[in-house]
Structure 1
Amino acid sequence: MPHEETDRLPIRIGISSCLVGQRVRFDANHKQDNYILGTLGEFFEFVPVCPEVAIGMGVPRPTIRLLGAPEAPRAVGVKDASLDVTDKLVRYGRRQARELTDLTGYIFKSKSPSCGMERVKLYTDKGGVSSQGVGLYAREFMAAHPLLPCEEEGRLGDPMLRDNWLERVFAWRRWQELNRQRLTVRALIDFHTRHKLALMAHGPKYYKELGQLVADAGKGPLRPLADAYIGKFMGALQVRATAKRHTNVLHHLMGYLKRQLDSDDKQELLELIEAYRLGRVPRIVPITLLNHHFRRFPNDYIANQSYLHMCPEELKLRSYY
């Protein structure tokens, strides 16, 4: 049977307050995102944060921008450069990072000098401008939680980027559950085994490297090995899975059915996998047929693979691109 989640807590996602409709922007408006609020909000518990309001700038408030070098910019007023909230934003980011330790993901407001993850406008003292900036609050939070699945609302409009973020969110959720219950050598091995096919879709080298790490479990202290493992694991999931790699995984899955399927069933499955490779159907089409065949011909290893078997929330949200 597929792996079951037990005793599950809400999936808490940090988010810029304006994205859930709170009127906290500089002009007392919001940037409500209907996909985030209407679709993701059905499954996630949002934790809204507006760092600029939190540090006392008020609503409405003067606008700020990033000024200086990419490695050490300052957040200053657009009209009044004597307004400098750099230190307040940095301190608040560090404080929130210490307090919000149970998040499973974060959605930041793009282009914001406080919350933007990347490509924020950065001005120089001489009047030049680049897109090398990172919002000061976001920078501190992400530095404290480098493995946390983070994304911006604008990028979630891209189906592939959205699917990648969701995959990382639910994988991180499973890791949180593992640690909440009890980290053991067996639990670590089971976690790795469950994600083998998912890792193959992101790159065979990650599958091999992480397998070698797990092979050393039990030979020394577990926590340092587990920390190294999850760091490499989350890094692997950030590498975009390609249609070519997904196709290889689908063929790999088909190999577990080679003795059970007749020639017509094999041909049908091969045609659907090829249709996916060519972009004619989404990946859920061959996956649905594979799941049908594995229900007819159960396989304990396949039944526990996250690649095929997901919790209801993930199954509902993932796009299978």
Structure 2
Amino acid sequence: MDSKLTIGISACVLGQKVRFNAGHKRSAFCTDQLGEFADFVPVCPEVAIGLPTPRPTIRQILNDDIITVSQPDGSGDVTQALKDFGQAHAKTTFDMAGFIFCAKSPTCGMERVKVYYHHGKGSASTGVGVFAEQVMQANPCLPVEENDRLNDPVIKENFITRIFVYHRWLKTRKSGLTKHKLITFHRAHKYLVMSHHIESYRALGQLLARADQPLEQQADQYILGLMTALKIKATRKSHTNTLQHLQGYFKKQLTAEKKQALSEEINAYREGYSPLLVPLTLINHHLKEFPNEYLSDQVYLTPHPKELKLRYGY
């Protein structure tokens, strides 16, 4: 990768002491690992709208089907200020490869934010952070995730895959989009999208085969379809299907013994006895021995830097 990703991030996740209690929620993965490949753009909505640090806690409160953000007693309503800031900041995210939000925050939580009833009795984890909501609505293609969820290896790998794909897309568009570049981009991502959602794999191919749409409109539909498909977590079954397709490219080059060895590794992965990295490593080994330009270009084989070690654990 010849340039770093630009990623928006809740400032507290980056280690800045901006929480209500002057604490932080630093993510070691973000700062120590992902930070090697990304430039972060930190933001704290509360501080941005003028709240002090430390400060009284704020929460989402439901009253007559309207959710407001204020102190627990209803004072200090900052709902509109947060919405206005969120809408303004969202306009700066279109050149970002992703955004990492602070989980459960009334401003930055992507989902399952606590919404308290105005009478003070109980709550429901049904809210979305006011700031996060504005960012996500403004840019539906933008890969987003929460800091806590990045502790899950499957969710982490899914998110990191998406931000690197989106980074490549932003670079492609910035270079001046053409139909050839769009087709080339899709060609390199075909097996990746197959591993996530086979129906989208077919639909995206059909979309690009059409000649009756302006290029910009087609490109917008394509990237929305691609990023939506990649949100779907790949499974052992879908990975196995993809691996078997890749295996087919070597049917004329490999000896019977090597074919059997690759089949056994793919099956071992399918049954949960080994991680995805094992059959992929063998496929990459065969690709070096028997070069194939089409396969070499496939993002699926190396969707993110090996240094992140994201395919070791599942």
Q: Which TM class, normalised by the smaller chain length? A: over 0.9
How many Å separate the matches in 2 of 1:35 and 1:220?
A: 42
Match among 48, 55, 59 for residue 53 of structure 2: 59
1:210 aligns to 2:204 (yes or no): yes
Q: Which has the larger displacement, 84-93 or 288-297?
A: 288-297
Q: What is the percentage of aligned positions where both structures have the same residue?
A: 46
Match among 233, 257, 262 for residue 264 of structure 1: 257
Match among 179, 191, 208 for residue 197 of structure 1: 191
Alpha-carbon deviation of 1:123? 1.2
Give the secondary structure class of the aligned counterpart of 2:125: strand
CA deviation profile, 1:90-116 (whole Å, cap 9, x unmatched): 001011111233211111000100111
Q: Which residue of 2 aligns with 1:243?
A: 236
- Tell me which amino acid in the other structure corresponds to 2:279: P
Matches for 1:92-103 after TM superposition, within 5 Å:
92-103=85-96
Runs (5+) with no aligned partner, structure 2 = none
How many Å separate the matches in 2 of 1:35 and 1:283?
A: 21
Match among 119, 125, 131 for residue 125 of structure 2: 131
Contact 2:197/2:230, CA 8 A, preserved across alignment: no
Matches for 1:28-43 after TM superposition, within 5 Å:
28-43=22-37
Alignment size in residue pairs: 311
Q: Which residue of 2 aligns with 1:87?
A: 80
Q: Which residue of 2 aligns with 1:46?
A: 40
1:316 aligns to 2:310 (yes or no): no
Alpha-carbon deviation of 1:317? 2.2
Give the secondary structure class of the aligned counterpart of 1:307: helix
How many Å separate the matches in 2 of 1:106 and 1:35?
A: 14
Contact 1:276/1:283, CA 8 A, preserved across alignment: yes
Change (3 A) 1:215 1:109: same
- Tell me which amino acid in the other structure corresponds to 1:133: G
How many Å separate the matches in 1 of 2:93 and 2:178?
A: 25
Change (3 A) 1:71 1:304: farther
How many Å separate the matches in 2 of 1:274 and 1:226?
A: 37
Q: Using structure 2 for the length normalisation, give the TM-score.
A: 0.95
- Tell me which amino acid in the other structure corresponds to 1:115: C
Q: Using structure 1 for the length normalisation, give the TM-score.
A: 0.93
Runs (5+) with no aligned partner, structure 1 = none
Change (3 A) 1:45 1:71: farther
CA deviation profile, 1:160-191 (whole Å, cap 9, x unmatched): 00000011101101110110101100011111
- Tell me which amino acid in the other structure corresponds to 1:306: V
How many Å separate the matches in 1 of 2:232 and 2:306?
A: 21
Give the secondary structure class of the aligned counterpart of 1:123: strand
Contact 2:63/2:118, CA 8 A, preserved across alignment: no
Alpha-carbon deviation of 1:318? 5.2
Give the secondary structure class of the aligned counterpart of 2:250: coil
**Cα-Cα RMSD:** 1.5
Give the secondary structure class of the aligned counterpart of 1:68: strand
Q: Which residue of 2 aligns with 1:254?
A: 247
Alpha-carbon deviation of 1:69? 6.5
Give the secondary structure class of the aligned counterpart of 2:258: helix
How many Å separate the matches in 1 of 2:46 and 2:128?
A: 15
Alpha-carbon deviation of 1:72? 4.5
Alpha-carbon deviation of 1:220? 3.2
**Runs ≥4 residues deviating over 6 A:** none
Match among 155, 168, 171 for residue 165 of structure 2: 171
Alpha-carbon deviation of 1:70? 11
Q: Which residue of 1 aligns with 2:212?
A: 219
How many Å separate the matches in 2 of 1:71 and 1:185?
A: 47
Q: Which residue of 1 aligns with 2:109?
A: 116
Alpha-carbon deviation of 1:18? 0.8
